[in-house]
Amino acid sequence: METAEFVAILDQEGRLLAAAAEEAGTGAKVPTCPGWQVTDLLRHTGMVHRWAAEFVAEGHTSYHPDAGQPDLDGAELLDWFREGHGQLVDTLRSASPDVQCWHFLPAPSPLAFWARRQAHETAVHRMDAESARGGAPSGIAGDFAVDGIDELLLGFHARAKSKVRTEEPRILRVRATDTDGAVWTVRLSQEPPAVERSEAGEADCEVAGPVAQLYLSLWNRLPFPSVTGDASVAELWRDTSGVTWS
């Protein structure tokens, strides 16, 4: 996917998130994020949007901490979220393709990284806001969901900080049932997961289903559509794969 596509998705997802949050009310509980209310969701995602925009706008070439979360609620918080989301979209759309700044996963360029990362960040949290609102969630395009699984498995969990580890080697297969070639083999061990985009070797456990559902399941927002083989491997993923802000 191209950078412009990610920015367009980021724009749409942020608008949907804000609309769902407004409809739910900032005091509503977020079922997909136990312990959170919509207030927490808006404060967190809005902080991340501003944090990301600053790297691109200011050209920071080393890590900079975020500016923290505001003590806002209700309509003021929604306005603050929408402002920061709009600033991020505008920053990414107007940035030079060769802008140099810090980023934390491999990417064709820093701009490509931030557009992709913030599109997925916002899409997952849009799902959170819609879970608080209730009703049918908005859809997720298949190619975007495939890319999101790639980012999570080949990016986030390739890092040393991944906590998905096993004493004995195990293999988890991830299979999209509605997308040709969307199969991942996740080799688990005492080291960070080793992932390849193929069907390689016999799997101890396979999780399968429509790619949009798998995307959200791997981010621990939905149950796995289907689990075959040793279900404890899927449970291990559930228990240890969470990506937290730190």
Identify the pLDDT of residue 117. 98
Alpha carbons 17 and 35: distance in angstroms, whole number = 19
Identify the pLDDT of residue 131. 98
Identify the pLDDT of residue 245. 79
CA distances from 21 to 125, 126, 217 (A): 10, 9, 22
pTM: predicted TM-score of the whole model, two decimal places = 0.97
Residue matched to tokens 């949007």: 49
Identify the pLDDT of residue 43. 98
Positive or negative: CA dihedral 148, 121, 219, 64: positive
**Cβ distance 14 to 48 under 8 Å?**
no
Alpha carbons 4 and 140: distance in angstroms, whole number = 17
**Could you tell me where in the chain the CATH 3.30.1050.10 domains are found?**
162-240
Identify the pLDDT of residue 246. 63
Identify the pLDDT of residue 201. 87
Alpha carbons 54 and 91: distance in angstroms, whole number = 9
Alpha carbons 69 and 59: distance in angstroms, whole number = 22
162-240 CATH fold: Nonspecific Lipid-transfer Protein; Chain A (3.30.1050)
Alpha carbons 189 and 220: distance in angstroms, whole number = 21
Identify the pLDDT of residue 90. 98
CATH 1.20.120 fits 3-133, yes or no: yes
Q: Which contacts (CB < 8 Å, 24+ apart) does range 32-40 have?
A: 32/127, 32/128, 32/131, 32/221, 33/128, 36/128, 37/132, 38/129, 38/132, 39/73, 39/77
Q: Residue 194, SS3?
A: strand
Tokens matching residue 246: 């730190």
Residues of the chain with pLDDT under 50: none
Tokens matching residue 96: 């030079």
Alpha carbons 14 and 49: distance in angstroms, whole number = 10
**Could you tell me where in the chain the CATH 1.20.120 domains are found?**
3-133
Burial of 179 (0-12, 13-18, 19+ CB in 10 A): middle
Identify the pLDDT of residue 200. 86
Counts for the chain of helices (H) and strands (E), in that order: 7, 5
Residue matched to tokens 């289907």: 226
Tokens matching residue 82: 């929408």
Alpha carbons 119 and 136: distance in angstroms, whole number = 21
Alpha carbons 149 and 51: distance in angstroms, whole number = 23
Alpha carbons 210 and 51: distance in angstroms, whole number = 33
